[in-house]
Amino acid sequence: MQRYLLLSALLGASSITFAEDRSEAIYLEKCASCHGRELQGGNAQSMVDGVWQFGGGDGDLTRNIKFGISAVGMPNYEPSLSDDEINGLVRYIREAQSRAGAERPPLPETLPTRDYDVKVEKWIGEGLRLPWALTFVDQRTALLTEQPGRLRIIKDGKLDPKPIAGTPPVFSRGQGGLLDVAVDPDYATNGWVYLTHSHALDRKSEKGETASMTRLVRGKIVDHAWTDQQVLFEADPATYRYTTHHFGSRIAFDPEGRLYFSIGERGHQDDAQNPNLPNGKVHRVNRDGSIPADNPFADGVKGLPSVFTYGNRNPQGLATHPATGVIWESEHGPMGGDEINVLEGGVNYGWPKITYGLNYNGTPITDTQRAEGMRQPVSYWAPSIAVCGIEFSQGDEFPRWKDHLIVGGLGHETLQRLAIADGHVMHTEQLLQGAGRVRDVAVDPSGAIYAVLNGPAIVIRLTNGGVARRQ
């Protein structure tokens, strides 16, 4: 690296240009298929949003490129690239990062869509770190999680600078951390707030990795403090996994007040097919953690009593259909094969036996996309948008979008509207693109739509700026 710099300095600008061009060519040949041509992310994460899950120093980047991150499908380039070429790539990433920071276009004030001119505002513009989930307590009050482990209050559109003290410690590594937040359907009378988070054991693997799994707790917020905590779901320690990805997780309630929450397959794809393991599932419990008598494996004979559906890869979206009360789910596919599913108890959604996805190296995961006894998604994306939070549009703000599904995508930095009729997706409209990675979607009681973004860490609000009058 030093030698390169010295050489560049001696030879002048032309050699620098030459070296940069070469890095770009290497990048386009070896990295763009997963990380995107503009480094914006796609099937693997963005490298220009300032978020580094595996370390953001030059040394971390060099190590991750050289040795790969095998558990998550990042290849190792030691065999094919020299140290100088890897250093060149690190510099290329840095330059793209600073360009992207400078060049992200300002948010549009108005967004013309098929039905409305939508007013776009930055609702929470600063003070957040990796915001993960947003939910409304009432029209004026919202709760928001930050993945590193903070629960925040937003009142009248202002972020309370003081996080809630005493929330459970989280395993904040990779995709792990504080995940979803939800308020009890009877919050006004009982005050319960529900959280899912990555939970670590003291146990380590031979390589020193920490055993972890997604856990569900509830508690109350009193004077900025988390109190009365109850653990509602904690998996058998024997089933904890050593990876740091695919934790899920979202929470939703059905009209009977039962609670659904998701756990990703933790990178152990075959676990998703085994109803006796907690990962790769959507679970259903009563609000006190007890098991509903009509759960598909309630007797615990052929599966865990809490399991509601299985064969789910990494569900990071759950939403309750306002009219039918049925739970809709989004799950990340690999390359291609992001899915929207309508959940039904005891059903196998097929991962990894059937999928529309490809492995990160481009080979098909399976040539089987349908199978007897395995449910098809109602909709899927190929290539993946890295589908994440979902919520149904309700309330008076956007009457023409009543019961449409608003969907966020991380990789493609997209917010989409899926028009739904009779449980089918009739058409899809892209609402917003390129404002940031969309981690979560929320709708307030009046019907305004919110998108929680990562890189920039902000929350955007969409309201009705008038019915579209276009030819």
Catalytic residues: 246
Least CB distance from residue 28 to ligand HEC, whole Å? 10
Distance CA 211, CA 6 (A): 46
Least CB distance from residue 201 to ligand HEC, whole Å? 23
Phi, psi of 367 (to 5 degrees): -90, 10
Closer Cβ to ligand HEC, 89 or 130, answer by number: 89
In this structure, the strands spanning 210-222 and 251-253 are unpaired
Place of tokens 């796609």: 42
Place of tokens 């040539």: 367
Least CB distance from residue 117 to ligand HEC, whole Å? 35
Run of H or E residues at 390? strand 387-392
Run of H or E residues at 15? helix 13-30
Closer Cβ to ligand HEC, 72 or 193, answer by number: 72
Closer Cβ to ligand HEC, 80 or 430, answer by number: 80
- Closest chain position to ligand HEC (CB): 31
Closer Cβ to ligand HEC, 74 or 181, answer by number: 74
Residues that bind ligand HEC (CB under 6 A): 30-31, 33-35, 44-45, 52-55, 61, 64-65, 69, 72-75, 77, 89, 360-361
CB 296 within 8 A of CB 314: no
Least CB distance from residue 145 to ligand HEC, whole Å? 20
Which three-class secondary structure state does DSSP give residue 406? Answer: strand
Place of tokens 């059905």: 254
Closer Cβ to ligand HEC, 263 or 291, answer by number: 263
CB 147 within 8 A of CB 163: no
Q: For the sheet containing 327-331, what is the strand order? A: 315-320, 327-331, 338-342, 379-381
Handedness of CA 420, 425, 428, 432 (dihedral sign): positive
Joined tokens for residue 144 = 């928001």
CB 246 within 8 A of CB 266: yes
Least CB distance from residue 326 to ligand HEC, whole Å? 30
Distance CA 185, CA 56 (A): 41
Least CB distance from residue 97 to ligand HEC, whole Å? 11
Closer Cβ to ligand HEC, 62 or 141, answer by number: 62
In this structure, the strands spanning 307-310 and 315-320 are unpaired
Cα distances (Å, whole numbers) of residue 20 to 23, 27, 77, 86, 94: 5, 10, 19, 12, 12
Strand partners, 433: 414
For the range 228-235, what are the long-range contacts, defined as Cβ-Cβ under 8 Å and sequence gap of 24 or more?
229/168, 230/288, 230/289, 231/289, 232/194, 232/259, 232/285, 232/287, 232/288, 232/289, 233/261, 233/283, 233/285, 233/289, 233/306, 234/199, 235/263, 235/278, 235/279
Cα distances (Å, whole numbers) of residue 101 to 121, 123, 176, 414: 19, 20, 25, 18
Distance CA 372, CA 132 (A): 36
Closer Cβ to ligand HEC, 73 or 395, answer by number: 73
Least CB distance from residue 235 to ligand HEC, whole Å? 23
Least CB distance from residue 73 to ligand HEC, whole Å? 4
Amino acid identity for residue 66 in this structure: K
Least CB distance from residue 334 to ligand HEC, whole Å? 9
Closer Cβ to ligand HEC, 64 or 341, answer by number: 64
Q: Could you tell me if residue 434 is left (phi over 0), alpha (psi between -120 and 50 degrees) or otherwise beta? A: left
Closer Cβ to ligand HEC, 64 or 212, answer by number: 64
